[in-house]
Amino acid sequence: MPASDPLPFDPIDRAAQIWSTRIGESNSMAAVTSVFRVQQILQQAVDTALRPHELTFARYEALVLLRFSKAGALPMSLMGQRLQLHPTSITNIVDRLEAAELVRRVPHPTDKRTTLVEITDAGRRRGEEATASVMAIDFGLVGLSEDEVASLTSLLAKVRQAAGDFT
């Protein structure tokens, strides 16, 4: 959703035209600027959908990850790896989810050095409700067909892989 009335022109396209006449090739600048703007649009849409569930996207992702796990519990270190977050960030997320009684910390049954994060029934319900909300808005991806969304995902995966996100 635009912050104000839509402009009568595409400001990124206009910037790319000026860039190309004054600096040089503008395709990468236009693509990156577009990705950043779309990130803002998606963030706003998803935040709006998650707000009634009292979740941020990071907390929502953690609940989904736990729901996807076979036992409904994972070591905090593995959660951080899967969510690609710093240990401090995952601790903060778990602290907030635990305060809301959506997860609980439990000792690992065989490794005393490891703490598991286990989703509660309330966390499972909240995650399901939040998922319905973000799916109802298609995670904010308006204006694209299913094939275009698949192509976008594939293209962005190439950038992520080249940056070392995965092999």
Domain presence at residue 6:
no
Residue (of 51, 113, 127) closest to 76 by Cα position: 113
The pLDDT value given to residue 153: 96
Q: Model confidence over 59-98: pLDDT tens digits? A: 999 999 999 999 999 999 999 999 999 999 999 999 999 9
Q: Which residue has the higher pLDDT, 143 or 1?
A: 143
Q: What is the dihedral of CA 60, 65, 67, 68, to 10 degrees?
A: 140
Any idea what the CATH number is for the domain that residue 133 is in? 1.10.10.10
Residue 101 has pLDDT above 70, yes or no: yes
Q: Choose among 80, 84, 69, 59: nearest CA to 118.
A: 69
Residue 153 lies in a domain: no
H/E stretch holding 94? helix 87-99
Let me know if residue 2 belongs to a domain: no
Does residue 3 have a pLDDT over 90?
no
For residue 21, with 0-12 CB atoms within 10 Å meaning exposed, 13-18 middle and 19 or more buried, which class applies? exposed
Is there a contact between 117 and 73 (Cβ–Cβ < 8 Å)? yes
For residue 158, being part of any structural domain is answered with no
Task: Return the residue matching tokens 């029934």.
Answer: 121
Q: What is the mean pLDDT of residues 9-15?
A: 96
* pLDDT on residue 112: 86
pLDDT tens digits, 18-73: 999 999 999 999 999 999 999 999 999 999 999 999 999 999 999 999 999 999 99
Residue 5, domain member (yes or no): no
Is the CB of residue 140 less than 8 Å from the CB of residue 45?
yes
Encode pLDDT of 107-142 as tens digits: 998 988 899 999 999 999 999 999 999 999 999 999
In a domain, 76, yes or no: yes
Per the structure, the count of domains in the chain is 1
Question: Average pLDDT, whole number, for the chain?
Answer: 95
Q: Provide the token pair at 15.
A: 């910037």
Domain that includes residue 57, residue range: 11-140
Could you tell me what percent of the chain has a pLDDT over 90? 94
Any domain includes 71: yes
Residue 4 has pLDDT above 80, yes or no: no
Check residue 77 and give its pLDDT. Answer: 93
Chain position carrying tokens 């950038």: 159
3-state SS, residue 115: strand
Domain for residue 149, yes or no?
no
Taking the C-alpha atoms of residue 59 and residue 122, their distance in angstroms, rounded to an integer, is 14
Q: What's at 54, amino acid-wise? A: E
